[in-house]
Amino acid sequence: MSLTDLTLARAREGLRKKEFSARELTEAHLAAIEALNPQLNAFVTVTHELAGAAADDADRALARGEGGALAGIPLAIKDLFCTEGVRTTAASRILENFVPPYESTVTAKLKASGAVFLGKTNLDEFAMGSSNMTSAFGAVTNPWQRGGDPAALVPGGSSGGSAASVAARLALAATGTDTGGSIRQPAAFCGIAGIKPTYGRCSRYGIIAFASSLDQAGPMARTVEDCAILLGAMAGFDPKDSTSADRPVPDFAAACGRGISGLRIGVPLEYAAPGVSGEIAALWERGRAWLRAAGAELVEISLPHTKQALPTYYIVAPAEASSNLARYDGVRFGRREEGGDLTELYEATRAAGFGDEVKRRILIGTYVLSAGYYDAYYLRAQKIRTLILRDFQRAFETCDAILTPTAPTAAFAQGEKMDDPVTMYLNDIYTVPASLAGLPAISVPAGLDPEGLPLGLQVIGRPFDEETVFAVADKIEKAAGFSALPALRAGA
Ligand code: GLN
């Protein structure tokens, strides 16, 4: 087996047993990036030298019988995490040459546990999108293709570069961020696993903000166990983030092996919307049968405000974004366009620095927060957000976890769904409710559509109960036995 095909868990074992070195493992992935990135555009920055140096450090630590939980493991980092001394762009022209003077807490923790960073991955600009088409560095290509058709498909978004790099074996695993589905939907589109943990589980310090009450970091990897291992190294209280939760980090990897016998799995009636494709409905049905066979009890639940989740999200998220993005004014950091006076400088900088989707969100957000409309839109959306949270609280009185599809369709082609932004927003229909409620939710690859494209199932859990989410996801993964491989991958 080639080094780029290993799971993170297996690579860790191989490194400890000295079957190969961190240097060899890292070089194999750097070579894969060199070979495939021109086609995939998954990385916007590759840090060859830093990766080699980190691998050598890991090899020295491993030789001494030391080294942290991720010693020598090559990872890809979404280019939304600030990395000290390494360009961090949010895939925006406004931050095209921004080199942060500090490190995000999540990446600092990963480095401290010995991980090797291969580079920074492409994303939708400021994480706004579901297709990776809004990046200032160009679209990412999904390594999967429809049947024999080489037409480029989207990897999903916004963590599309991370998802594509893991699926194509350019990295063993990656970090993502999820505001309304940006870890789960690209994981589903690329046939990998990805979890958005409970809001507050990972520190947001040093992650470029999109919508602060929704943004969460999380792992993306080829197995559920790999996600669990990685999340263990990313999570934990951080005094630098006032919304980070001061609670112990459980052994997530151990939770994968837990039985689910007697667990009650909720199936929300409202998710069987008429728009769901036949194959997604069939996959969901198979998922229920797998969990029943593993000893779980399936119960019907109702989440009556499901219909309101998408409109609520597309008020709350742009509102917070418009406020967060006000800091990019050309004065303190990032791109600057000159102007005759200060207002002209602001206007010219923001006009040149932001792409269309970001501008659209700033306009929507500014509008819903404006004096005349605040009560009618923003305040009302906040109230509905509370009702959505209550729906879940009520549901969790009768179930321990919830099973749904991750996305309404498989990956679509680049350029599709582009004429009307609302069509694109509909992609988030299954992922947004858990985001608004702050709940942990994972996507697991569970099958292929008739054209050979991966489809994912989502498991949503109670706040801070990632362990049950991992246990259930592990059973789905085992039952599905997903072993299909993308057309574009290292060694193919
Ligand atoms: N697709 C959603 C959006 O465009 C979610 C993005 C995200 O989770 N960052 O806002």
Cα–ligand 1 centroid distance for 267 (angstroms): 24
Beta-carbon contacts of 193 under 8 Å, excluding residues fewer than 6 positions away, are 187, 220, 221, 222, 223, 224, 226, 227, 442, 443, 444, 445, 473, 477
Question: What is the arithmetic mean of pLDDT over 471-483?
Answer: 98
Query: What is residue 56's predicted lDDT score, i.e. its pLDDT?
Result: 98
**For the residues 259-285, what does the mean pLDDT come to?**
91
Calculate mean pLDDT across residues 28-50. Answer: 98
State mean pLDDT over 370-374. Answer: 94
Return the residue matching tokens 């309304």: 180
Question: What pTM was estimated for this model as a whole?
Answer: 0.98
Report which of residues 1 and 452 the model is more confident about: 452
Q: % helix / strand / coil in the chain, to the nearest 5?
A: 45, 15, 45
Query: Of 23-27, 117-121, 124-128, 425-429, which range is least confident?
Result: 425-429
181 Cα nearest atom in ligand 1:
8
Contact 179 CB / ligand 1 (< 6 Å): yes
pLDDT at 475: 98
* Annotated catalytic residue 78: yes
Residue 129 CA: which ligand 1 atom is closest?
4
131 counts as catalytic:
no
Residue 49, Cβ density class (10 Å: 0-12 exposed, 13-18 middle, ≥19 buried): exposed
Tell me whether the omega of the peptide bond preceding residue 158 falls within 30 degrees of 0, making it cis.
yes
Q: 369: which residues sit within 8 A by CB, 6+ positions away?
A: 319, 322, 323, 378
Contact (Cβ atoms closer than 8 angstroms) between residue 379 and residue 385? no
What distance in angstroms lies between residue 95's CA and the mean position of ligand 1's atoms?
19
Q: What is the pLDDT of residue 492?
A: 85
Please check whether residue 219 is in contact with residue 175, taking contact to mean a CB–CB distance below 8 angstroms: yes
Q: pLDDT of 175-184, one tens digit each? A: 999 999 999 9
* CA-atom Rg of the chain in angstroms: 21
Please state the rounded mean pLDDT for residues 26-52.
98
Q: Please tell me the number of Cα atoms within 13 Å of 178 on its side-chain side.
A: 37
Query: 487 alpha carbon to ligand 1 midpoint, in Å?
Result: 26
Bridge-based pairing state of the strands 454-461 and 441-448: antiparallel
Using a 6 Å cutoff on CB, does residue 178 contact ligand 1?
yes
Cβ(454)–Cβ(191) below 8 Å: yes
* Annotation says 443 is catalytic: no
Confidence of residue 426 (pLDDT cuts 50, 70, 90): confident
Dihedral angle sign, alpha carbons of residues 388, 393, 394, 399: positive
d(C-alpha 366, C-alpha 322), whole Å: 6
Element at 7 (helix H, strand E) = none
The C-alpha atoms of residue 359 and residue 355 are separated, in whole angstroms, by 6
Closest ligand 1 atom to Cα of 427: 1
Q: Which residue among 21, 131, 158, 322 is the active-site one? A: 158
In Å, what is the CA distance from 362 to each residue of 137, 211, 315, 337, 345?
20, 12, 11, 19, 18
Ligand 1 center–CA 263 separation, angstroms: 31
Check whether 64 has a pLDDT greater than 90.
yes
Q: Which residues contact 44 (CB under 8 A, 6 or more apart)?
A: 79, 89, 91, 119, 120, 121, 122, 135, 137, 161
Task: For residue 481, report the distance from its CA to the centre of ligand 1, in Å.
Answer: 29
Q: Could you report the per-residue pLDDT of 103-153, keeping only the tens digit for each?
A: 999 999 999 999 999 999 999 999 999 999 999 999 999 999 999 899 999
Q: Could you tell me the distance, in angstroms and rounded to a whole number, from the CA of residue 352 to the centre of ligand 1?
A: 22
- Asked if the model's pLDDT at residue 273 lies above 90, the reply is no
130, 135, 182, 435: which one is catalytic? 182
Instruction: Check whether 274 has a pLDDT greater than 90.
Output: no
Q: Is the pLDDT of residue 219 over 80?
A: yes
**Closest atom of ligand 1 to CA, residue 183:** 8
The 10 Å Cβ neighbour count of residue 428 is 25
Rounded to an integer, what distance in angstroms lies between the CA atom of residue 260 and that of residue 472?
7
Pocket perturbation via mutation, ligand 1, pick of 124, 406, 417 by most ligand atoms within 8 A of CB: 124
Helix segments in 235-277, DSSP class H: 252-256
DSSP state of 118: E
**DSSP designation for 141:** P
Ligand 1 neighbour 127 (Cβ under 6 A): yes
Percent of the chain at pLDDT exceeding 70: 100
Per-residue pLDDT at 81 exceeds 70: yes
Long-range contact list for 55-62, CB < 8 A, 24+ apart? 55/21, 55/22, 55/23, 55/25, 55/26, 55/27, 55/116, 56/22, 56/23, 57/114, 58/15, 58/22, 58/114, 58/116, 59/21, 59/22, 59/23, 61/114, 62/15, 62/16, 62/18, 62/22
Average pLDDT, the chain: 97
Mutual angle of helices 356-369 and 306-324, in 10-degree steps: 100
Report the pLDDT averaged over residues 262-277: 88
Give the CATH superfamily of 3-259+434-480.
Answer: Amidase signature (AS) domain (3.90.1300.10)
Question: In the prediction, which pLDDT does 276 show?
Answer: 77
Ligand 1 pocket: which of 128, 134, 154, 427 to mutate (most atoms <8 Å of CB)?
128
Q: Is 254 a residue whose pLDDT tops 90?
A: yes
Give the whole-angstrom CA distance, residue 97 versus residue 83: 13
Q: What are phi and psi of 283, to 5 degrees?
A: -65, -40
Cα–Cα distances (Å) from 151 to 35, 146, 415, 416, in that order, read: 19, 8, 11, 12
Residue 175 forms beta bridges with which residues? 219
- Structure tokens belonging to residue 398: 């009768």
- The residue whose C-alpha atom lies closest to atom 5 belonging to ligand 1 is 180
pLDDT score of 469? 99
**Segment holding 244, helix H or strand E:** none
Q: Partners of 448 in the beta sheet?
A: 454
- The whole-angstrom distance between residue 476's C-alpha and the CA centroid of its chain comes to 20
Q: What angle do CA 21, 23, 25 make, to 5 degrees?
A: 70
Q: For residue 24, is pLDDT > 80?
A: yes
Domain boundaries, the chain: 3-259+434-480
What confidence score (pLDDT) does residue 227 get? 99
Residue 367: the pLDDT is 98
User: What sign does the CA torsion over 160, 165, 168, 169 have?
Assistant: negative
Q: What local confidence, expressed as pLDDT, does residue 433 receive?
A: 98
User: Does the beta carbon of 194 sit less than 6 angstroms from any atom of ligand 1?
Assistant: no
